[in-house]
Amino acid sequence: MKRFKGKTALVTGAGRGIGFEIARQLAAEGANVAVTDISEDLAKESAGKIQAETGARTFFLAQDVSKESDCENAVSKTIETFGSLDILVNNAGITRDNLVLRMKEKDFEDVLAVNLKGPFLMAKASFKHMSRKRYGKIINISSVVGQAGQAGQANYSASKAGLIGLTKSLAREFCKRNVNVNAVAPGFIETKMTENLDQKAREEILGNIPLERLGKPEDVAKAVLFLASEESAYITGQILAVNGGIYI
């Protein structure tokens, strides 16, 4: 029995990487999936691939999660297309790494706008519908560096730590309407975001991972699917670490 048959999910930043894999696994387990990304071409390509592979219904949309009108449009188009929105995965995220003394104000603001304001805007737009239905699952993709901090990533780690606070507050506000809000905090995962790590940094990171490998998008997607499923009905406001033990 497919766990998400009859359910509709929206995944932001699903054009590639972790978001693509989350959308793919949700579709493989029967969900209708709205694939959104800032790049329309990537969103289109991904939605097409997922539909061809899984036979699920998908649609694609260009969406910048830092813009309120784009968020409202993504939610209303999803409901127009599939009749509902049950699962929201706030996955879109960016990095603009630098040491604090070299970090530009704009690099700080841009990262906060996408990684933290985006999930707030998406949760707000989705809750209007989920509240009426008295059903919803919201999963935010945070990061181990939001829990542990990271030199060179003051903007990114602040945004991901903020997302943990947002997750807990949304969980408290939305629970009366049966909307669960949780976060997944991945460690170092093999995607385009981490492909530019030089060999030395990669070896250093690997040396600190008790499970002795970088994570894969599949590892993160499995945790997200658990939090999107009925198996986690009594879990809200929690941060599930998927990090190979690098931060315990």
Residues 35-94 that bind ligand NAP (CB under 6 A): 37-39, 42, 63-66, 91-94
Among 126, 191, 232, 236, binds ligand NAP (CB under 6 A): 191
| 50 contacts: CB under 8 Å, gap ≥ 6 | 20, 23, 24, 27, 33, 35, 56, 58
Select 44 or 177, whichever has its Cβ closest to ligand NAP: 44
Contact flag: residue 114 with ligand NAP (CB under 6 A): yes
Q: What count of other Cβ atoms lies within 10 Å of the Cβ of residue 162?
A: 18
Contact flag: residue 16 with ligand NAP (CB under 6 A): yes
Residues 202-241 that bind ligand NAP (CB under 6 A): none
Q: What is the DSSP letter of 188?
A: S
In the complex, minimum distance from the CB of residue 220 to ligand NAP, in angstroms, rounded to a whole number = 7
Contact flag: residue 192 with ligand NAP (CB under 6 A): yes
Contact flag: residue 162 with ligand NAP (CB under 6 A): no
Is the alpha carbon torsion for 74, 232, 25, 221 positive or negative? positive
Q: How far is CA 94 from the centre of its chain?
A: 12
Which residues are the active-site residues? 156
In the complex, minimum distance from the CB of residue 177 to ligand NAP, in angstroms, rounded to a whole number = 26
User: Residue 116: left if φ>0, alpha if ψ -120 to 50, beta else—which one?
Assistant: alpha
In the complex, minimum distance from the CB of residue 20 to ligand NAP, in angstroms, rounded to a whole number = 7
| 153 contacts: CB under 8 Å, gap ≥ 6 | 95, 97, 145
Cα–Cα distance between 118 and 142 in angstroms, integer?
A: 12
| Tokens found for residue 23 | 């959308």
In the complex, minimum distance from the CB of residue 11 to ligand NAP, in angstroms, rounded to a whole number = 10
Among 17, 119, 136, 162, binds ligand NAP (CB under 6 A): 17
- Bridge partners (DSSP) of residue 186 are 242
In the complex, minimum distance from the CB of residue 132 to ligand NAP, in angstroms, rounded to a whole number = 26
Residues near ligand NAP (CB under 6 A): 12-13, 15-19, 37-39, 42, 63-66, 91-94, 114, 141, 143, 186, 188-189, 191-194
